[in-house]
């Protein structure tokens, strides 16, 4: 028996992927640490098909046992961030089958992201490139010596070039966050310190519109605020985007409020293992038909106003993908000229 177990362990280490060994009935006999982390320790002694629920699993198991044949199955594990696996079944001996779960999530994500990136860039850059081409043609032709035309067109050209740079930077960031969504961060992060830093950075923008930014908390002492599991730079990006939007779309002279509290589920019950940050501003109410689409890339309620304010239409899409990676939640409500964006994150245990 020791030799049997050692053989499985050596093979699992060599493959370096979540691995299990099942008997003729598909019952898990042995499992690697990676398999336990992925599927849970309760898989031991249970039917493996009950955890992957693949329609071709039983047939693939029989082919390995009776025909000495390897079979590959594609399997999507439905979590907050879906993960794609290739399940590889191969004979181990006449009574057992070795199964490896090879994570293909990053590979598949990169393929899809590359395709989407090219499509988005070609679509969104067409308009500013056309404008720049027209201005350059005019300045090289009929307006070559027209100083008044140059003074008019050069600032517009600079604005269009800056807009293209924002689009490219935003798409690159979005692609990076989306590709890493299946790998949740593990660092312990001080969320209150992040919010204080974002408020300090954006205070000049708020001052320009006579907007006051306030931070309230259930925890009287900032040091008592629970730490969250996350990536500090990515969470800075989240609250940078949310505060910038809140200030941009607030009425002049109004307030923007950050409120920190214990997490709540959809029924309103407290969650001790979660922390919630609500960003509330006073401004135009967002119609209900727009709420569910705000995190779509390039979706703008008022395209002209958004672009005039320097918006790329990618900010909330980036926020959504960062929060997916953090296994967090995003909720947006808007009524009676009050818009509240609620972010819920898991705390560090």
Q: Which tens digit of pLDDT belongs to each residue from 13-24?
A: 888 889 999 999
Task: Give the per-residue pLDDT at 279.
Answer: 95
Task: Give the per-residue pLDDT at 147.
Answer: 82
Cβ atoms < 10 Å from Cβ of 201: 14
The answer to whether 21 and 105 are in contact (CB under 8 A) is no
Q: Domains of the chain by range and CATH?
A: 2-103 (3.30.450.20), 106-182 (1.10.287.130), 184-349 (3.30.565.10)
Looking at residue 347, what DSSP letter applies?
B
Cα 61 to its chain centre, rounded Å, is 36
Task: Give the per-residue pLDDT at 67.
Answer: 83
Query: At which residue do the structure tokens 């249970």 appear?
Result: 46
Task: Give the per-residue pLDDT at 256.
Answer: 94
Q: In which residue ranges of the chain is pLDDT below 70?
A: 81, 108-124, 266-267, 302-312, 349
Task: Give the per-residue pLDDT at 111.
Answer: 65
The mean pLDDT value of the chain amounts to 84
Task: Give the per-residue pLDDT at 114.
Answer: 64
As given in the structure block, the two tokens for residue 313 are 């239409």
For residue range 181-227, list pLDDT tens digits in order. Answer: 778 888 999 999 999 999 998 888 888 899 999 999 998 887 888 99
Residues 80, 83: Cα–Cα separation, whole Å: 9
283-292 CB contacts, 8 Å cutoff, 24+ apart? 283/249, 283/250, 283/251, 283/254, 283/337, 283/339, 284/249, 284/337, 285/334, 285/335, 285/336, 285/337, 285/338, 285/339, 286/332, 286/334, 286/339, 291/332, 291/333, 291/334
The answer to whether 160 and 131 are in contact (CB under 8 A) is yes
Rounded to the nearest 10 degrees, how much is the dihedral formed by the CA atoms of 116, 105, 294, 232? -110
The answer to whether 278 and 342 are in contact (CB under 8 A) is yes
CA distances from 310 to 113, 231, 244, 248, 325 (A): 25, 27, 11, 10, 27
Quote the pTM value: 0.61
Task: Give the per-residue pLDDT at 57.
Answer: 85
Task: Give the per-residue pLDDT at 323.
Answer: 92
Task: Give the per-residue pLDDT at 345.
Answer: 94
């Amino acid at each position: 028996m020791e030799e049997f177990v050692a053989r499985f362990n050596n093979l699992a280490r060599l493959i370096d992927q979540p691995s299990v060994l099942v008997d003729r009935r598909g019952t898990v006999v042995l499992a690697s640490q990676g398999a336990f982390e992925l599927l849970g320790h309760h898989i031991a002694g249970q039917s493996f098909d009950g955890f992957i629920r693949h329609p071709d699993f039983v047939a693939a198991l029989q082919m390995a046992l009776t025909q000495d044949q390897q079979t590959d199955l594609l399997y999507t594990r439905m979590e907050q961030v879906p993960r794609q696996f290739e399940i590889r079944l191969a004979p181990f001996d006449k009574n057992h089958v070795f199964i490896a779960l090879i994570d293909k999530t990053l590979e598949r994500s990169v393929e899809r992201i590359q395709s989407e990136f090219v499509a988005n860039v070609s679509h969104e850059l067409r308009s500013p490139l056309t404008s720049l081409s027209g201005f350059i043609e005019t300045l090289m032709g009929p307006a070559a010596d027209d100083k008044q035309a140059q003074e008019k067109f050069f600032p517009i050209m600079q604005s269009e070039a800056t807009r293209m740079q924002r689009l490219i930077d935003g798409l690159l960031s979005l692609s990076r966050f989306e590709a890493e969504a299946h790998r949740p961060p593990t660092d312990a992060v001080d969320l209150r310190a992040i919010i204080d830093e974002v408020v300090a950075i954006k205070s000049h923008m708020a001052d320009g519109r006579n907007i006051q930014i306030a931070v309230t908390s259930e925890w009287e002492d900032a040091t008592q605020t629970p730490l969250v599991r996350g990536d500090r730079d990515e969470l800075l990006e989240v609250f940078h985007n949310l505060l910038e939007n809140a200030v941009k779309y607030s009425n002049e002279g109004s307030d923007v409020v950050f409120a920190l509290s214990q997490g709540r589920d959809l029924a309103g019950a407290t969650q001790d293992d979660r922390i919630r940050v609500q960003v509330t501003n006073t401004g135009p109410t967002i119609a209900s038909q727009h709420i569910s689409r705000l995190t779509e890339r390039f979706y703008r309620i008022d395209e002209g106003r958004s672009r005039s304010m320097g918006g790329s239409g990618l900010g909330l899409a980036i926020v959504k993908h960062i929060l997916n990676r953090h296994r967090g939640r995003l909720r947006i409500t808007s009524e009676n000229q009050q818009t509240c964006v609620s972010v819920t994150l898991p705390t560090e245990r």
